[in-house]
Amino acid sequence: MTAAFTLSGVCKRYPAFALEDVDLALPEGEIMGLVGVNGAGKSTLLRLLGGLALPDRGTIEVLGHPMPAQQVQAKREIGLASEDMRLYGSQTLRWHMDLVRAAYPRWDEAYAGELLRRFDLRAAQPLKAFSHGQRVKALLLLNLARRPRLLLLDEPTTGLDPVARAEVLEALSEVLRDAARSVLFSSHDTHDIERLADRITFLHGGRVIDARDTAAFLDDWRRIVCHGALPASVGQWDGVASVRANGSLSELRVRGAEAVVGLLRAAGADVRSVDPMNLEEIFVATVRGGGKH
Amino acid sequence: MPVGDGLFLSASDGRPMYQQIVDQVAAKVAAGDWPAGHALPSIRELASASQVSVITVKRAYLELERAGLIVTRHGKGSFVAETQELPKALLRADLEGRLREVARAAARLGVGIDELKRLLVAAHDDQASHTAARPEEATR
């Protein structure tokens, strides 16, 4: 089975920022969500995969093509949409569509027309008259209609109003139908990622601090509320990311809840509830828990 | 536009996404929307139409298989089980779901397992005496 991409030992240093020792792979046909705060390295990672930047160290393979040696072949099958992509303000969307269509023989005009309608965009309008949300949707249309095998989307829903966001997510979930197409998208909105992604990667300070399938993340973490005095060492227990106390109640955020609940009961604490956490809470707990390797 | 086979899933529902899928498929089977032998949408189709990840739908289908509600034939997809036991399996899945809710509510209240057992026995006895008093309502 082909991997959509494989990164091994990848480093990329800029004067003020470095991406360090990234090992990451995405099986074909899956969706990976990239979660990280601003400056975590999400865009750098996407640019490396898209062939827009070269790593200082390590190897990158995209759809079976080693980069940069076979980047021409790879780029034919990659669709990269990021905000810093230049569109020509004085030209219409139709002009842009024809440009992309001429460069990519797999361009699907019928699908492009459907996306125009769904995104409520006017092809005859020059890009400079587009709002931010319309520009984001136009860029996505230009990429989706090429039917690339790997879609790289940098913050595709950031700054969109709720209606536009729903339209973009609908278009994205359509890509799921085809088992040969893969998506890597970054977002700081964890709700989008939690719902659509098969796999999730947490990026922080230029490093991958955790990367697993979505179910594993959600199954692993729990918020435990208990009553009664806790041993002082509880913060150091394996899997305990945070402890907060309020009077006789304490709240713990933990990985591997079963073991911790057992230890708490053994210590005489009265465990009141063990509840799932959402991805946002898990991300914050992972970052605060110093998920460094 | 999502097509007809999409399920209605919500992030503000307390249950995890895969559980919502399990419950809705079970409800569709119970309602007769999907009769025995009915072909379920493929995992990718349902994921796409319901806007959830493929892995979530896979997990839901596995649970439904384990509960005996659907069968998966290699290369052919998943179908609503033909078994006579279906209504029973549905009722049982429903019962287990309710018991999980009870367990959650008890945990929120800080009700321990012993007290919960006592409450359950009381509820059971209450129901038994009810059924004995009005036999025409005893359905089984």
Q: Quote ipTM for the complex.
A: 0.74
Whose structure tokens read 């008259």? A129
Characterise B31 by phi-psi region: left (phi > 0), alpha (psi -120 to 50), beta (else). alpha
B54 in contact with A at a CB cutoff of 8 Å?
yes
In single-letter form, the type of residue at position A220 comes to: D
Which amino acid would we find at residue A94? R
pLDDT digits (tens, 9 = 90+) for A211-270: 999 888 888 899 999 988 888 888 888 889 999 988 889 999 999 888 898 899 888 888
Chain A residues with CB under 8 Å of B56 CB are: 214-215
- What is the SS3 assignment for B72? strand
B51: nearest CA partner in chain A = A173
Minimal Cβ distance to B11: which of A191, A214, A274:
A191
Tell whether A251 is within 8 A of chain B (Cβ): no
Between CA A169 and CA A20 the distance in angstroms is 31
What does the pLDDT read at residue A292? Answer: 38
Whether residue A170 lies within 8 A of chain B, CB to CB, comes out as: yes
Whose tokens are 């079976």? That residue is A64
List CB contacts (< 8 A) between B1 and chain A.
118, 170
Judge: A177–B55 Cβ closer than 8 Å, yes or no. no
Task: Say yes or no: B1 contacts chain A, CB-CB below 8 A.
Answer: yes
Query: Residue A14 has which token pair?
Result: 């800029």
Closest chain A residue by Cα to residue B55: A198
Distance separating alpha carbons of residues B106 and B97, to the nearest angstrom: 14
Q: Answer yes or no: do A176 and B108 touch at CB < 8 A.
A: no
The domains located in chain A, with CATH, are 3-205 (3.40.50.300), 220-288 (3.30.70)
Determine the Cα–Cα distance for residues A219 and B55; give it in Å rounded to an integer.
13
A176 contacts in B (CB within 8 Å)? 44, 47-48, 53-54
Residues of chain A contacting B2 with CB distance shorter than 8 Å: 170
Fold of domain B2-80: Arc Repressor Mutant, subunit A (1.10.10)
3-state secondary structure of A223: strand
Q: From the list A176, A194, A273, which residue is nearest B108 (CB)?
A: A273
- How many Å apart are CA A75 and CA B93, to the nearest integer? 49
CB A61 within 8 A of CB A5: yes
> Reduced to 3 states, what is the DSSP secondary structure of residue A245?
strand
A177/B48 touch (CB, cutoff 8 Å), yes or no: yes
Element (H, E) at A76: helix A71-76
Are the C-beta atoms of residues A94 and A123 closer than 8 Å to each other? yes
Using alpha carbons, select from A267, A108, A90 the residue that is nearest to residue A174: A108
Distance CA A118, CA A169 (A): 12
Distance from CA of B82 to the nearest CA of A (A): 28
Closest-CA residue to B39 (of B87, B89, B7, B80): B80
* Cross-chain Cβ contact B47/A173 below 8 Å: yes
CB-nearest to A177 from B1, B45, B110 is: B45
The whole-model pTM stands at: 0.81
Output phi, psi for A208, to 5 deg. Answer: -80, 115
pLDDT in tens, chain A (293 residues): 689 999 999 999 999 899 999 999 999 999 999 999 888 999 999 999 999 999 999 999 999 999 989 999 999 999 998 877 778 989 999 999 999 999 998 899 999 999 999 999 999 999 999 998 899 999 999 999 999 999 999 988 888 888 888 888 888 888 888 888 999 999 878 888 888 899 999 999 999 999 999 888 888 899 999 988 888 888 888 889 999 988 889 999 999 888 898 899 888 888 888 888 989 999 999 988 764 33
Chain A residues whose CB is inside 8 A of the B53 CB are: 31, 176, 195-198, 214
Q: Do A29 and B17 touch (CB under 8 A)?
A: no
CB-CB under 8 Å, B56 with A215: yes
Beta bridge partners of A185: A33, A153
At B108, the amino acid letter reads R
Q: Which of B51, B55, B110 sits opposite A272 (nearest CB)?
A: B110
Find the residue in A nearest to B42 (Cα).
Answer: A177
H-helix or E-strand spanning residue B87: helix B86-109
